[in-house]
Amino acid sequence: MSQLLSRHHRTAQQRKPKINTLLKSSVVLITSTLLLSISAQAVEPTTSISNATVNNTSINTSAINLAIMADSPTVLSETQRITRAKTNTLSTTSNNANNANNANNANNDQAIYSEDAIHHPVWAKNGMVATQEALASDIGLQILKDGGNAVDAGVAVGFALAVTLPRAGNIGGGGFMMIYDAKQGKTVALDYREKAPSSASRDMYLDKEGNAVSDLSRYHGLAVGVPGTVAGLLKALEEHGTMSREQVMAPAIALAEDGIEVTAGLSESLTALSDRLQKWPSTKKVFFKPDGSAYQPGERLKQPELARSLKLIAAQGADGFYRGETAQKLVKAVNEAGGSMSLQDLANYQAIAREPVKGDYRGYEIVSMPPPSSGGIHIVQILNILEGYPLKDYGQNSAQTIHLMAEAMQLAYADRAEYLGDADFIDVPASGLTSQAYADKLRTLIDPNKATPAATIKANNPLPYESDQTTHFSIVDKDGNAIANTYTLNFSYGTGLVADGTGILLNNEMDDFSAKPGVPNGYGLLGGDANAVEANKRPLSSMSPTLVFKDSKPYIVTGSPGGSRIITTVTQIISNVIDHDMNIAEATHAPRIHDQWLPDEIRVEKALNIDTVKKLESMGHTVSPKSAMGSTQSIMLTPNGVYGSSDPRIVDAAVVGY
């Protein structure tokens, strides 16, 4: 267990604080692993307080409950406990303000902490960081405590994850960041998706017979898109941050230079992908020992070449990556691996601030990424269809609810295959796809009691209504600024190729283009002409960093990795909270389903009960239990503080606050 805890956790364990110190602590940090096993309702009477994991970053409901029960043995409901604890720890602004918000706060408390809940989120007064890797979470938190804002912390986390979570964190890939500026009351969608090199062409992945050759778009130099992460993170910092590059990058540089303690999760992923990674000598020397064996948990992994690359960026800005020494090494590596990328491709790359996609769901505003992400459009589209059904009455993950969700999902994914691509190159009917009128039309195609065979579904016409391995992190600061960031190398470790002398893993994002219409990509997604390969074009993505607003203020900050399952995972987080009154931890832990039109099946996690599966099968669905989906990192904002949950589906994640 200790290998899964952050550095602050381990230090606190060694100190073994006395019970009074624990009870007076204002903050406790919990990793996602602990969220599985600790709740206020399940504290063993024999638990040794001195062995509890403690630091000064957030409040664990178990500690709160123990503190309150030490004051008074009266048994209180969960809502009463947390309300009483907050009364003792939070300063109030005025009695009038409290009276005006009483009703809203009571509803928020009920939705967040309830005696009915079996999972509880982490609470913090000021700011919160939720990422897929505990060291990166600690770094983001320290930036917030040092006076940085959410963007400062996000940029620090983005660079840190390139060191601590190399299978997905990156500077050789790309992604999207949703930025909410509380002072301006404005949300920006920052697009730093990779681009096709200027030499790319429509048929570059076809053989002489016209068949798609998947290895060329996945494990070859031709698979590498022009990276956007560095440009995106630096643009966010320059336009929305308050700290310098040197300040926010220093932690990542130190981790790369001094080394990180290998976790069980990192060791397992390197071992599992050893054959693919070790075929590249430049990768083998970075991530494996001289004898070819993988690093074991507890051993130290140093990345001096990556540290140098990060130092060049800190000193020179974007030019330290897109020009000069690093750029030359990146181009050399891509071209020696059979690709065709130029120095000019790198020099020309620009991140773009775009207008977000917006929709309404039962009075909540959904704000998410526009193309080249398909996420925002289809999250809104699916929710628009579902709004016509009383999902709360049907129940969370009932056969009826899953049936309707699956039907809505496959209609959206059919449209995705037809209409979605890079809006800088094609006309994407975004307003039509997200209109309620179009959703109302699609809803008429759904039989409430019978599955619709995928073969009978075709993309519909929204024009009349026109008027897997990725990582996500969410951050909120004390001033109400928020970011949701999802970025990726595409597959785990991307192509698997480290550009020699840089320590930088290169993406295989070109596989997200449609190599040939009707041929699925690595995630089984079909595409058409809208997402065909073209020079300087951004490939279509499912990444869906999303903000949900309540009364014009951020309420949920969320997102997930998961390839094609990202869209449906984020949709279910939103529905779980809004339709089923779940707190953010319950919404995170709940079993997930996925239907992407083709293949014709509902993919489910094994936790879904057999009676529900049989009912779905009786309705005509093919149900396929498969591995867990997603790794959401979510934060809920309320007048009483912020609440967060890191997904238990992935080890090493942590949500922290102060």
**Predicted local distance difference test score (pLDDT) of residue 525:** 73
Cα gap 472→557, rounded to integer Å: 11
CB 156, CB 469: distance < 8 Å: no
The string of pLDDT tens digits covering residues 524-555 is: 777 788 999 999 999 999 999 999 999 999 99
Cα gap 411→518, rounded to integer Å: 17
The string of pLDDT tens digits covering residues 573-613 is: 999 999 999 999 999 999 999 999 999 999 999 999 999 99
The string of pLDDT tens digits covering residues 58-86 is: 333 333 232 322 333 322 222 232 333 33
Amino acid at 415: D
- C-alpha to C-alpha distances, 635 to 161, 306, 573, nearest whole angstrom: 19, 31, 11
pTM for this structure? 0.84
**Predicted local distance difference test score (pLDDT) of residue 43:** 33
**Predicted local distance difference test score (pLDDT) of residue 462:** 84
Q: Which of 95-109, 177-191, 381-395, 463-477 has the lowest mean pLDDT?
A: 95-109
**Predicted local distance difference test score (pLDDT) of residue 399:** 98
28 pLDDT above the threshold of 50: no
Cα gap 556→121, rounded to integer Å: 13
341 pLDDT above the threshold of 50: yes
The string of pLDDT tens digits covering residues 224-262 is: 999 999 999 999 999 999 999 999 999 999 999 999 999
Cα gap 118→228, rounded to integer Å: 41
CB 472, CB 173: distance < 8 Å: no
**Quick one: pLDDT band at residue 568, thresholds 50, 70, 90?**
very high
**Predicted local distance difference test score (pLDDT) of residue 116:** 85
The string of pLDDT tens digits covering residues 143-189 is: 999 999 999 999 999 999 999 999 999 999 999 999 999 999 999 99
79 catalytic? Reply is: no
Residue 181, strand partner residues = 186
Pairing of strands 623-626, 602-605: parallel
Structure tokens at 390: 């009383």
Is residue 394 packed enough to be buried (19+ CB in 10 Å), middle (13-18) or exposed (0-12)?
Answer: middle
106 pLDDT above the threshold of 60: no
**Predicted local distance difference test score (pLDDT) of residue 466:** 52
**Predicted local distance difference test score (pLDDT) of residue 59:** 32
89 pLDDT above the threshold of 80: no
Average pLDDT over residues 352-375: 98
Exposure string of 428-443, with b = 16+ CB inside 10 Å and e = fewer, is bbbebbbbbebbebbb
Q: What percent of the chain has pLDDT over 90?
A: 78
Q: Is the dihedral of CA 323, 328, 333, 335 positive or negative?
A: positive
| Cβ neighbour number for residue 349 with a 10 Å cutoff | 22
The string of pLDDT tens digits covering residues 107-116 is: 444 445 578 8
Nearest Cα neighbor of 403 from 451, 456, 457 is 451
Structure tokens at 113: 């902490």
Cα gap 647→156, rounded to integer Å: 21
**Predicted local distance difference test score (pLDDT) of residue 114:** 72
Phi/psi for 226 (5° steps) reads: -65, 120
41 pLDDT above the threshold of 70: no
Cα gap 120→122, rounded to integer Å: 7
Average pLDDT over residues 556-566: 96
Cα gap 658→642, rounded to integer Å: 10
Cα gap 59→71, rounded to integer Å: 17
Chain mean pLDDT for the chain:
86
20 pLDDT above the threshold of 80: no
Cα gap 525→531, rounded to integer Å: 11
**Quick one: pLDDT band at residue 563, thresholds 50, 70, 90?**
very high
488 pLDDT above the threshold of 90: yes
CB 580, CB 391: distance < 8 Å: yes
Residue bearing the bigger pLDDT, 461 or 94: 461
Nearest Cα neighbor of 30 from 54, 64, 50, 2 is 54
Identified catalytic residue from 470, 488, 502, 632? 470
388 pLDDT above the threshold of 80: yes
Average pLDDT over residues 499-526: 88
Q: Which of 27-41, 433-447, 564-578, 628-642 has the lowest mean pLDDT?
A: 27-41
